[in-house]
Amino acid sequence: MTSIDRVRHVLAKLQGAQWLPQLLTRLFVGYFFLETGWGKVHNIQGMTERFTDWGIPFPHFNAVLSGYTELIGGALVMMGLFTRLVSIPMIINMLVALISVKLKKVAGLDDFVELDEPLYALAFFWLIFSGAGRVSLDHLLLRLLGKKGADLPPAPQASFPPGGSHV
């Protein structure tokens, strides 16, 4: 077995285990937002006051919207149910927090990369593209609905240069 064959073998094994980082990311990020959403929903008055202080328009409405987005979205992400769809409002929630509150305290790139919100938004962005994975209700639903290959097909392999010859 050549070195290239060994590398291909390892890459194939990693591709087959893609469900693991999808599951762990979903559980971690989903639980975090389930918990923060629970806290917001059970302290709407306090959240409304914070939203007012931050200058967010319609503070009561947006506090309720943000809290329930995180609570329900976190639960759905943990279960892997409608993962791609629910990741969109979760990203929007992070962008609103980032733009309305966090960026006011950012003096440069070093400050920005230390924020949590961009990391969470990137995790949801990744879940939009990767999906929930095999260990999810999304995967189970697709199988029950008779969809063959409930996961997305593997990405096509690019050859460089086109035609596959290496010059």
Q: Supply the pLDDT for residue 147.
A: 74
**Structure token digits, residue 23:** 């599951």
Which residues in the chain show pLDDT less than 50? 152-156, 158-167
Separation of alpha carbons 165 and 159, rounded Å: 8
* End-to-end CA separation in angstroms for the chain: 24
- pTM recorded for the entire structure: 0.82
CB atoms within 10 A of CB 114: 10
**Do 40 and 67 touch, CB atoms closer than 8 A?**
yes
Instruction: Give Cβ neighbours of residue 19 (< 8 Å, ≥ 6 apart).
Output: 133, 134, 135
pLDDT at 157: 52
Per-residue pLDDT reduced to its tens digit, 43-86 = 999 999 999 999 999 999 999 999 999 999 999 999 999 999 99
In single-letter form, the type of residue at position 37 comes to G
Say whether 68 sits in a helix, a strand or coil.
helix
Q: Where are the domains of the chain?
A: 18-144
